[in-house]
Amino acid sequence: AKDNPTLNRDLQPIKNNADRLMNLVTELLDFRKAESGKMALHVSPGDIVKFSKEIFMAFQNMAISKQIDFSFQSEKSQLELYFDKVQMEKVLFNLLSNAFKFTPNGGKISLEITLKNDIATIKVCDNGKGIPLENQNNLFNNFYQANANIPIGTGLGLSFSKSIVELHQGKIAFQSSPASADQNGYTCFSVNLKIGKEHFNASDFIADYVYCDDVINYNSPKAVEPQIFEIAPADPEKKRYSILLVEDNEDVRTFIKNALTADYNIQERENGMDGLESAIELIPDLIISDVMMPVMDGLELCRRVKTDERTSHIPVILLTARSAYVHQINGFENGADAYLMKPFNLKMLELNIKNTLKARETIKHKFAQVITLEPTNLVINKTEEGFLTKIMQIIETHISDPEFDVPTLSAEIGMSQPVLYKKIRALTDLSVNDFIKSLRIKRAAQLLKQNTGNIAEVAYAVGFNDRKYFSLEFKKHFGKTPSEFIQTEKIV
Provide φ and ψ at 328, rounded to 5°. Answer: -65, -25
Per-chain mean pLDDT for the chain: 82
Q: What is the reported pLDDT for 190? A: 97
The confidence band for 489, taking pLDDT boundaries of 50, 70 and 90, is confident
Q: What is the reported pLDDT for 247? A: 94
Q: What is the reported pLDDT for 425? A: 86
Pairing outcome for strands 108-116 and 171-177: unpaired
Residue 15 lies inside a defined structural domain of this protein: no
CATH number, domain of 277, equals: 3.40.50.2300
Question: Do both 79 and 159 map to the same domain?
Answer: yes
Cα distances (angstroms) measured from residue 259 to each of 121, 347, 349, 350: 41, 10, 10, 9
Q: Which of 163, 185, 209 is the last residue of a domain?
A: 209
Question: Do both 344 and 431 map to the same domain?
Answer: no
Domain that holds residue 119: 40-209
User: In the predicted model, is pLDDT for residue 301 greater than 90?
Assistant: yes
Question: Do both 447 and 309 map to the same domain?
Answer: no
Question: Do both 187 and 261 map to the same domain?
Answer: no
Question: Which has more confidence, 122 or 249?
Answer: 122
User: In the predicted model, is pLDDT for residue 148 greater than 90?
Assistant: no
Question: Do both 352 and 410 map to the same domain?
Answer: no
- Listed residue (235, 214, 231) closest to 223, CA to CA: 214
Question: Which has more confidence, 14 or 480?
Answer: 480
Residue 225 lies inside a defined structural domain of this protein: no
User: In the predicted model, is pLDDT for residue 28 greater than 80?
Assistant: no
Q: What mean pLDDT comes out for the span 191-216?
A: 80
Residue 12 lies inside a defined structural domain of this protein: no
55 close to 89: Cβ distance less than 8 angstroms: yes
Q: Which of 184, 209, 234 is the last residue of a domain?
A: 209
Residue 477 lies inside a defined structural domain of this protein: yes
Q: What mean pLDDT comes out for the span 375-402?
A: 78
Residue 232 lies inside a defined structural domain of this protein: no
118 close to 80: Cβ distance less than 8 angstroms: no
CATH number, domain of 468, equals: 1.10.10.60
Return the percentage of the chain with pLDDT > 90, whole number: 46
Q: Can the peptide bond before residue 407 be classed as cis, meaning omega within 30 degrees of 0?
A: no
Question: Do both 315 and 425 map to the same domain?
Answer: no
Q: Give the span between the Cα atoms of 436 and 398, in whole angstroms.
A: 10
Question: Do both 75 and 199 map to the same domain?
Answer: yes
CATH number, domain of 100, equals: 3.30.565.10
Q: What is the reported pLDDT for 236? A: 46
Q: What is the reported pLDDT for 450? A: 87
pLDDT in tens, 343-359: 778 888 999 999 889 88
Question: Do both 346 and 416 map to the same domain?
Answer: no
Q: What is the reported pLDDT for 45? A: 92
pLDDT in tens, 402-446: 999 999 999 999 999 999 998 888 888 888 998 899 889 988 988
User: In the predicted model, is pLDDT for residue 364 greater than 80?
Assistant: no
165 close to 87: Cβ distance less than 8 angstroms: no
Residue 457 lies inside a defined structural domain of this protein: yes
Kindly report the pTM of this predicted structure: 0.72
Question: Which has more confidence, 168 or 383?
Answer: 168
Total domains in the fold of the chain: 3
Q: What is the reported pLDDT for 452? A: 83
- Listed residue (176, 192, 210, 182) closest to 99, CA to CA: 176
Question: Do both 331 and 189 map to the same domain?
Answer: no
Residue 135 lies inside a defined structural domain of this protein: yes
Q: Which of 341, 359, 377 is the last residue of a domain?
A: 359
Q: What mean pLDDT comes out for the span 386-411?
A: 91
- Listed residue (313, 317, 305, 327) closest to 355, CA to CA: 317
Q: What mean pLDDT comes out for the span 286-311?
A: 91
Question: Which has more confidence, 295 or 223?
Answer: 295
Return the percentage of the chain with pLDDT > 70, whole number: 77
Question: Do both 350 and 285 map to the same domain?
Answer: yes
Q: Give the span between the Cα atoms of 29 and 24, in whole angstroms.
A: 9
How long a stretch of residues is the chain? Answer: 492
Question: Do both 407 and 454 map to the same domain?
Answer: yes
Residue 29 lies inside a defined structural domain of this protein: no
The confidence band for 371, taking pLDDT boundaries of 50, 70 and 90, is very low
Question: Do both 353 and 251 map to the same domain?
Answer: yes
